[in-house]
Structure 1
Amino acid sequence: MTKPTDASDQPPYLRIAAGIRRRISDGELASGDRVPSTRQIAKDWGVALATATKALTTLRLEGFVETRPRTGTVVAGTAPSTPPRKHSSPAPAPEQELTLDRIVRTAFDIADAEGLSALSMRGVAARLGVAAMSPYRYVPSKDDLVLLMADAAFGEETYPADVPEGWRSRIELGARILWTLYRRHPWLAQLGSLTRPLLVPNLMVHGEWMLSALDGHGLDPTTLFDIHVLIYSHVQGLAVHLEWEAHAEASTGQSEDQWMDSRAPALQELVESGRFPTFTKVVGAFNDGYDLRLDALFESGLKALLDGLTPIVEGQEAVA
C-alpha cells in the first residue's frame, strides 16, 4: 500500500483519522470490521506508533471505532453517519490528573487489545492525551511499566481465607487461578522464563500458595521446588499460545481454522508420502479435524501431573 497523499496542513494524525473515517462513511469498513492496527498505520503512512495511536484515539473519541479485547480496534456498532466538520487536537488532560494508576491501566488496555508488542510509552501518552514525556515522570521506562502491569495483573485474584483441605486441592486452586489470569491477560504469559523468573510481589503470592501446599509432606527442598516449577511451567507453557495465536491472527488476518485450511495441501502431501503411518492413521480418524482446546489441555495436563506426583508427595509424607 502506498502512502496516501494530502495537501492539507493538518497534523498527520488528523489526516490518518480522516482517511479511515472516509472508508467507514463510504461503507468500505462496516460495523464490526477491524480497522488498521497502530503498527499497520505506522507502516502505511510512515509515521510513529504514537501518531498512529493518536489517530485511532481521535476516531474512538468521535465514536467511529471501539476497542475490543483480543480483537483490536473495530468499527463501532453505532458509528456516526457523517463526520464532524471541524477537528481539533484533543485537549491534553491536566498534568495533575495524570497518575501512575491511570498510566498502568491505559497500558493494560493497549496490551489486552493489541498485544504487548503494540505497547510503547509514547502510545500510552497519546492514549491519555498528555505530552509524550509526561509518563516518564511516574515510571522510568517501558520495562518498568511492564513490571508494574504484571504485578497489578497477578494481584487481581486472591486466595480464600479458608484453605481447602489436602495439598492437591490447594494446588488445583492455585493453578486454575493462574490460568484465569493468563486467560484474562494473554500477554502476561510472555513475561519471564523459568530460568529468569519474574520477581514481582503479587506473583510471589501465588508461588507462596503453591509452595505452602507442598510443604510439610517430607519433601526435600529441591524436590519441593522442582514440583512447584513443574506445575507452574505447565500453566505458563500452555498460556503462551494464547498471545501467539492472537498475534498470528492479527498479522495474517486468518483465524486458526482458516490458517489450517490454507495448509491443507501441505498436510495432504505429508499424509500421502507414506513416511508417517501413525500420524496418518490418527489424523484420518478425525471426522472434522483435530480441535485444539487449550482449556481442556490445561485441565487434563494438570490432572495427569498431579496423578503422577501423588505417590511422590504422599509417599514421602508416609516415610517422614
Structure 2
Amino acid sequence: MAEGGTPSGRILAELRRRITSGELAPGERVPSTRRITREWGVAMATATKVLTRLREEGLVRAVPGVGTVVAAAGAAASAPAVSGASGASGAASERASGESGVRRARAGERDLTRERIVATAVQVADAEGLTALSMRRVATELGAATMSLYRHVPGKDDLLRLMMDEAFREEPLPDRLPGGWREGLEAVARLQWRIYRRHPWLAATMSFTRPVMAPDVAVHTERSMAALAGLGLEQEEMAQASVTLAAFVCGLAVHFEREAQAEQDSGMSADEWMDLQDGEDHDRLMADPERFPMFDALNRGPEIDMSLDALFEFGVARMLDGIGAVIERRAVSGA
C-alpha cells in the first residue's frame, strides 16, 4: 500500500505540506503525539511513527522543554517528495534509502554505549514526555537498530531507572549540607524541586512504595536522615520524615509534566487558560456565596498566588515546621 493510503501516511503528508508551504514556520511547534491522536483519531503508536518519520527527514527536531518544532529553513529541501509514481526509479530510490539507513544504523551502533543511550532517552523525554519514549525511538535518534540497544540496556524499565539516576546525578548534593537540620532538609528539597523542573517527566517515574535501586536518588534520603541524626528521633522517624518530605516534593512536581503537555496541546500557558475560564459560568459559580462562601471571599479579595512554586514554598515550610515540632517534643520529654 502506498504511503498516502495509510493513516500515518495521510497525517505525514499533511504535516509535511504545512511545513514545506510555510504554514508551520521554522521553530514553531508541530502537533504533539497526543494532539495527533486527538485530531486524527489514531493510536499513539501511529502518532509517534509520524513524528519519527518527520525527524528522519530532517523536517523537525526535538527541543528540550519545548517539544517537537520545525527544523531550520532549508531542511525541507532535503525531504523526499511524495508521489504516487512507481517503477524502476522508485524501487531504486527505495533500495538506496534502505541501504543508507543500514549504513547509518551500523555507524550508530559502532559508537553505541549505555551512557549515550541513557542521555538520548533523557533528551527525548525532556522534549516530548514519557509517552514519546520507546526503545525504538531512542534507536532512531541514535541511528542504530532497535535490537542493538538491548545489548546495553535490558529493557525499558531498566532504561527508566538509569534515566532517573542520570537526572539526579546532573546536580549532585554537596558533600556537607548547610546549617542545621532545617536548612539541610530544605536544601535537599529545593534541589529535588529544581531537578524535577528541569526534567518534567521524572516525578511520574518515582515510586515511594516500590523504590528502585538508583544510587544517585537514594543518596538524597541518606543525606536527609543524616541531617536529622542526633536530635532524639528514632531511626524510623528519621526515615519517615525524610521520605515524606521527598514524597511531597515529588507529588507536587508531577504537575510539571501535566502542565507542559497541556501547554503543548493547547498552545496556552496556565495563566492564559485561566483567563479564558473567566466567563459566565465562572462568574455564576463565584457569585454563589451561600454554597461557596470561601470562594466568594477569595473572589472579592486581592489576587492570590496559586502557582506550583508558591505551593512548594508554603508546603515545604509547613513540612519542616511539623518535623521541628516532633524534634521539640522529643527534647522536652527526653525520649
TM-score, normalization: structure 2?
Answer: 0.80
Residue 308 of structure 1 is matched in structure 2 by 322
Name the CA shift for 1:242/1:316 in 2 (closer, same or farther; >3 Å).
Answer: same
Aligned equivalents of 1:302, 1:39: Cα separation in 2: 33
Count residues with an aligned counterpart: 308
Name the CA shift for 1:23/1:212 in 2 (closer, same or farther; >3 Å).
Answer: same
> What is the identity, as a one-letter code, of the residue corresponding to 2:105?
P
Deviation at 1:14, TM superposition (A): 8.9
**Worse-superposed segment, 206-215 or 30-39:** 30-39
Name the CA shift for 1:74/1:53 in 2 (closer, same or farther; >3 Å).
Answer: closer
Residue 206 of structure 1 is matched in structure 2 by 220
Aligned equivalents of 2:300, 2:277: Cα separation in 1: 16
Deviation at 1:303, TM superposition (A): 2.0
Q: 1:177 aligns with which of 168, 171, 191?
A: 191
Residue 285 of structure 1 is matched in structure 2 by 301
Q: Any conservation in 2 of the 1:13–1:54 contact (CA below 8 Å)?
A: no
Q: Which residues in structure 2 correspond to 1:28-47 (within 5 Å)?
A: 28-38=23-33, 40=35, 44=40
Name the CA shift for 1:65/1:79 in 2 (closer, same or farther; >3 Å).
Answer: farther
> What is the identity, as a one-letter code, of the residue corresponding to 2:54?
L
Q: Which runs of 5+ in 1 are unaligned?
A: none
In the alignment, structure 1 residue 65 sits paired with structure 2 residue 60: yes
Higher helix share: 2
In the alignment, structure 1 residue 197 sits paired with structure 2 residue 211: yes
Aligned equivalents of 1:53, 1:138: Cα separation in 2: 25
Residue 92 of structure 1 is matched in structure 2 by 105
Residue 287 of structure 2 is matched in structure 1 by 272
Deviation at 1:66, TM superposition (A): 3.3
> What is the identity, as a one-letter code, of the residue corresponding to 1:54?
T
Deviation at 1:12, TM superposition (A): 9.9
Deviation at 1:20, TM superposition (A): 3.4
Q: Any conservation in 1 of the 2:120–2:138 contact (CA below 8 Å)?
A: yes
**Worse-superposed segment, 190-199 or 170-179:** 190-199
Name the CA shift for 1:19/1:98 in 2 (closer, same or farther; >3 Å).
Answer: farther
> What is the identity, as a one-letter code, of the residue corresponding to 1:57?
R
TM-score, normalization: structure 1?
Answer: 0.83
Q: Any conservation in 2 of the 1:32–1:75 contact (CA below 8 Å)?
A: yes
Q: 1:144 aligns with which of 145, 158, 169?
A: 158
Identical amino acids, percent of aligned pairs: 45
Name the CA shift for 1:142/1:98 in 2 (closer, same or farther; >3 Å).
Answer: same
Name the CA shift for 1:85/1:255 in 2 (closer, same or farther; >3 Å).
Answer: closer
Deviation at 1:240, TM superposition (A): 0.8
> What is the identity, as a one-letter code, of the residue corresponding to 1:66?
R
Spell out, residue by residue over 1:35-67, the C-alpha distance to the aligned partner (whole angstroms, 9 max, x if none): 1234555784776466334323224xx4x4332
Aligned equivalents of 2:285, 2:4: Cα separation in 1: 51
In the alignment, structure 1 residue 79 sits paired with structure 2 residue 62: no
